[in-house]
């Protein structure tokens, strides 16, 4: 048993679907660790971080996407 070393960042992978051409893509985001930083998908959704994300579909140029899934974040209890 050792001390848990906090990661420098909280990695998440967002799964996005373009609203125009329906292509799915993923985006890795890393958040700083600290007070009020979301640690799991639910907290991420409720946070303001997603509102700051800019989406730009490469094939069609659409800037509107739907968030269809989130992976990552910290998992507790394992
Ligand atoms: Zn598109």
Per-10-residue mean pLDDT, the chain, length 78:
59 94 93 80 86 88 94 66
Burial of 26 (0-12, 13-18, 19+ CB in 10 A): exposed
Q: What are phi and psi of 52, to 5 degrees?
A: -90, -10
Distance CA 11, CA 49 (A): 13
User: How many Å lie between the centroid of ligand 1 and the Cα of residue 22?
Assistant: 6
User: How many Å lie between the centroid of ligand 1 and the Cα of residue 25?
Assistant: 9
User: How many Å lie between the centroid of ligand 1 and the Cα of residue 64?
Assistant: 8
User: How many Å lie between the centroid of ligand 1 and the Cα of residue 29?
Assistant: 20
Residue 78 has what pLDDT? 47
For every residue of the chain, which 3-state class applies, written as one string?
CCCCCCCCEEEEEEEEEECCCCCEEEEEEEEECCCCCCCCHHHHHHCCCHHHCCCCCCCCCCCCEEEEEEEECCCCCC
Whose tokens are 């974040």? That residue is 73
- Where along the chain do its domains lie? 9-72
User: How many Å lie between the centroid of ligand 1 and the Cα of residue 50?
Assistant: 19
């Amino acid at each position: 048993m050792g001390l848990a070393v906090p990661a420098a960042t909280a990695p998440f992978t967002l799964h996005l679907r373009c609203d125009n051409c329906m292509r799915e893509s993923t985006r890795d985001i890393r958040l700083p660790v600290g007070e009020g930083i979301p640690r799991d998908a639910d907290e991420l959704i409720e946070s303001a971080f997603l509102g700051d994300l800019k989406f730009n579909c490469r094939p069609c140029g659409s800037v509107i996407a739907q968030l269809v899934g989130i992976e990552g974040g910290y998992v507790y209890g394992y």
